[in-house]
Structure 1
Amino acid sequence: MAMIIHDRKRKRVSRREGVKYGPIVERDRMRIEYLNTKIWRNDTTCVDMLRLRKDYFFRFCKLFRNRGLLEDTIHMSIEEQVAMFLNTIGHNLRNRLVRTNFDRSGETVSRYFNKVLHAVGELRDELIRPPSLDTPSKIAGNPRWDPYFKDCIGAIDGTHIRASVEKNMEPSFRGRKSHATQNVMAAVDFDLRFTYVLASWEGTTHDAVVLRDALERENGLLVPQGKFYLVDAGCGAKPGFLPPFRVVQYHLKEWGNNPVQNEKELFNLRHSSLRVTVERAFWALKRRFKILDDATPFPYPTQVDIVVACCIIHNWVINDGIDQFIT
């Protein structure tokens, strides 16, 4: 009798119908329509959503396709993968918003974010390169800086990027800011390109310590013989690094109510007018990628990779043509 009951149960199970899914083709069509009408319809909408103009965006996707860094799948193109990534870092969006915008699952959004982040990171050695050893065009022939700064190849400074860390780690990351940050050091040439980036240091770390680490690392920061970077007074004077004079006015007007009084003030004025380049580069970077302005839910190693990825994309835009990003 028990065997008969068991057989009846097995027959009932075997008659169950399989799970039915919605029409994937129609869903894909709606996603493509969303991309065409809401994102890359024109430059304005593309910049609003992705922080890149249309031509830059599609050339960027072509780069990944040609290098084999990303690949199209049955239901997702490289363009959509990159669009989700740029939409996230451009506006610091959470996973739930991106999955709603692109009609994807949270797992899919997270998986492709990491794929694109890795693909961008693969371009680091190509796009974050040491500066040219020639006299920069901004300096050459300009009597304000030439010949005094003709061997200067860039400027170095640090910036604080908001970080999200565990509670027990926050004291070491909370330095000059009221919140946790990572201290990011970068070298920038006079075309606003990042030529070296070192992220991951805690916000309480002094800039001089970060610079020393950059010099001691394997494949770290190198200063060619006879060349130098401009640095702030906190880094101190050493071969290859030129700070301003201490206890001397730094920011002043060359002409007007507060004219230069001596040669040290004049040097500091010239030094400041050149070193502001690195501040402009950081300003442009944070303005384009809002994810750098606020804490993110990603693990800390991913937060570090995101900073470097933003610098790589920034350089790519400059290398690919004159960037007219103004929003």
Structure 2
Amino acid sequence: MSNINVDEVEEQMEEDEFEEELHETIRFLLVEFRGSLYTFTKHIANMNCERVHRPLNRRPITSRGYNYIHKILKEDPTNFREIYRMYPDVFLKLNNILREKTHLQDTRYICIEEMLAVFLLVVGHNTRYCLIRKTFERSRYNTSQNFNKVLKALNSIAADMMVKPGSAVPEKIRESTRFYPYFKDCIGAIDGTHIPATVFGRDTNSYRNRHGKISQNVLAACNFDLEFIYVLSGWEGSAHDSNVLTDALSRNNGLKVTQGYFFNATSLFNFFLFFRIIYSIHYCGVRYHLQDFTGQGRHPEDAKELFNLRHTSLRNVTERLFGIFKSRFKLFKTAPPFKYTTQTEIVLACAGLHNFLRKECRSDEFPVETEIEVPPSSSEQVYKDDNFGELFDTQEQQRTNTNAWRDAIANQMWSDYDHIVNKS
């Protein structure tokens, strides 16, 4: 009986000692917490706006980026334009548009001007984050966040920045007897271009274009003032232009054309008359490219060659536009180091930005770097679709009518041209 009482007493003593140690530990932690809280409160009270001291493993946040961008805005405008692809007054106007029309806002330490500058350095010079973070003294995370915030903001207003086709005859056509009145209903040109892309995984081969390079196929419609009307990005480099156009026409917010007007296009879009949108297409198997008519004694010899010469002179606007676009935004010269969805979003954002700059800096153009395009092989020009035979049968009459319409224009054009030549 005594042995049992002794055991119970020892167990009770052990429990009392454990509870006492537990209470002592809790009391110690509370004292330490109160001390840390007091130190932190005192630190916040004495903290100035210049620097926030953080643990050594994190980059301190400073106001250097804010001071830098506002300083350079007041310096040489030409130097600013070379760095940020626009003049300071245009930069500030774009900054105000983003501030008023999007959800982009200043943060505690980063202003919208700095965010926009980061975005323009990346797309304008293909600058990497590691260099930008040194300029603004930001972490890689903050630099990436600033870029993506501006990208999202620009994409939210990109549709509004696209040019709306008007009913008036374009000035380039109206003031030239070579084009008027034959192309008076032409509102622009449509074509595709390939932009280098970064793609990983098993789908890589589907993004390989006919030159063997990884790219995305971008469709663009533009007017004769070198402004984008519509842009569709994201298609694989191996996709045929006709498939991309199918997608553009079938979307709810896709490419729309007023009845009675048409775009200038190549023969690659010859299969889209069934969309009730007429495309002016050149004659195949006849001289077409501008260099084919360059040199002495290489003038057009019949109505088809004359039509092709003037047709390609109008369609050349897309090549000029793509040249200026890629020269202004050098990010598109090489494969961007972003995920593919971000790459497609950048194209749309820069297209809207290009239109903005065309309006604000119409005389401010970057030199066009010409690119040699190898024409696709005959096998690549074949439109592949399981329902192609049915579509062809049902639209054969419309195709015939369109060809007759083109022949009438070509014959009238040749008649006027022949009359002028004989008169002279």
TM-score, length basis structure 2: 0.71
Question: Residues 297 and 50 of structure 1: is their aligned pair in 2 closer, same or farther, counting only changes over 3 Å?
Answer: same
Report the Cα distance in structure 2 between the residues aligned to 1:264 and 1:211, rounded to whole angstroms: 26
Unaligned runs of 5+ in 2: 1-16, 52-60, 368-424
SS of the residue 2:293 aligns to:
coil
Q: Given residue 25 of structure 2, which amino acid in structure 1 is its aligned partner?
A: H
Which structure's CA Rg is the greater one?
Answer: 2
SS of the residue 1:183 aligns to:
strand
Q: Tell me what 2:310 maps to.
A: 270
- Greater Cα offset, 314-323 or 252-261: 252-261
Q: For residues 9-51 of structure 1, give each alpha carbon's deviation from its aligned partner in whole angstroms, at most 9, with x where no partner exists.
A: 5356765655979854267453333224456622222122211
Query: Does the CA contact (< 8 Å) of 2:324 and 2:366 recur in 1?
Result: no
Larger RCO: 1 or 2 (CA < 8 Å, sep 6+): 1
Q: How does 1:102-251 map to 2 (within 5 A)?
A: 102-236=136-270, 238=273, 239-251=277-289
Question: Residues 103 and 41 of structure 1: is their aligned pair in 2 closer, same or farther, counting only changes over 3 Å?
Answer: same
Query: Does the CA contact (< 8 Å) of 1:39 and 1:49 recur in 2?
Result: no
Q: Given residue 50 of structure 2, which amino acid in structure 1 is its aligned partner?
A: V
Q: Given residue 290 of structure 1, which amino acid in structure 2 is its aligned partner?
A: K
Report the Cα distance in structure 1 between the residues aligned to 2:196 and 2:145, rounded to whole angstroms: 24
Report the Cα distance in structure 2 between the residues aligned to 1:288 and 1:318, rounded to whole angstroms: 11
SS of the residue 2:50 aligns to:
helix
Unaligned runs of 5+ in 1: none
Question: Residues 112 and 4 of structure 1: is their aligned pair in 2 closer, same or farther, counting only changes over 3 Å?
Answer: same
Report the Cα distance in structure 1 between the residues aligned to 2:86 and 2:240, rounded to whole angstroms: 34
Report the Cα distance in structure 1 between the residues aligned to 2:26 and 2:218, rounded to whole angstroms: 68
Report the Cα distance in structure 1 between the residues aligned to 2:150 and 2:198, rounded to whole angstroms: 21
SS of the residue 1:197 aligns to:
strand
1:30 aligns with 2:64: yes
Query: Does the CA contact (< 8 Å) of 1:39 and 1:46 recur in 2?
Result: yes
SS of the residue 2:313 aligns to:
helix
Q: Given residue 222 of structure 1, which amino acid in structure 2 is its aligned partner?
A: K
Report the Cα distance in structure 2 between the residues aligned to 1:5 and 1:46, rounded to whole angstroms: 65
Query: Does the CA contact (< 8 Å) of 1:40 and 1:46 recur in 2?
Result: no
1:287 is displaced (CA, Å) by 0.6
Q: Tell me what 1:74 maps to.
A: 108
1:57 is displaced (CA, Å) by 0.8
Question: Residues 67 and 8 of structure 1: is their aligned pair in 2 closer, same or farther, counting only changes over 3 Å?
Answer: closer
Query: Does the CA contact (< 8 Å) of 2:154 and 2:352 recur in 1?
Result: yes
1:66 is displaced (CA, Å) by 2.6
Question: Residues 262 and 177 of structure 1: is their aligned pair in 2 closer, same or farther, counting only changes over 3 Å?
Answer: same
Report the Cα distance in structure 1 between the residues aligned to 2:354 and 2:87, rounded to whole angstroms: 13
Structure with greater helix percent: 2
Report the Cα distance in structure 2 between the residues aligned to 1:111 and 1:201, rounded to whole angstroms: 26
Matched residues, number: 327
Query: Does the CA contact (< 8 Å) of 1:84 and 1:109 recur in 2?
Result: yes
Q: For residues 218-254 of structure 1, give each alpha carbon's deviation from its aligned partner in whole angstroms, at most 9, with x where no partner exists.
A: 1211222111111112221635111111011112336
Q: Tell me what 1:289 maps to.
A: 329
Question: Residues 68 and 208 of structure 1: is their aligned pair in 2 closer, same or farther, counting only changes over 3 Å?
Answer: closer
- Greater Cα offset, 155-164 or 89-98: 89-98
Q: Given residue 243 of structure 1, which amino acid in structure 2 is its aligned partner?
A: I
Which of 362, 376, 379 pairs up with 1:322?
Answer: 362
- Greater Cα offset, 90-99 or 298-307: 90-99
1:307 is displaced (CA, Å) by 0.2
1:131 is displaced (CA, Å) by 1.3
Q: For residues 34-83 of structure 1, give each alpha carbon's deviation from its aligned partner in whole angstroms, at most 9, with x where no partner exists.
A: 22445662222212221112121111101122325322222122111111
- Between the aligned residues of both structures, percent identity stands at 37
Q: Given residue 25 of structure 1, which amino acid in structure 2 is its aligned partner?
A: E
Report the Cα distance in structure 2 between the residues aligned to 1:4 and 1:246, rounded to whole angstroms: 93
1:154 is displaced (CA, Å) by 0.5
SS of the residue 1:282 aligns to:
helix
Aligned-pair RMSD on alpha carbons? 2.4
Query: Does the CA contact (< 8 Å) of 1:157 and 1:278 recur in 2?
Result: yes
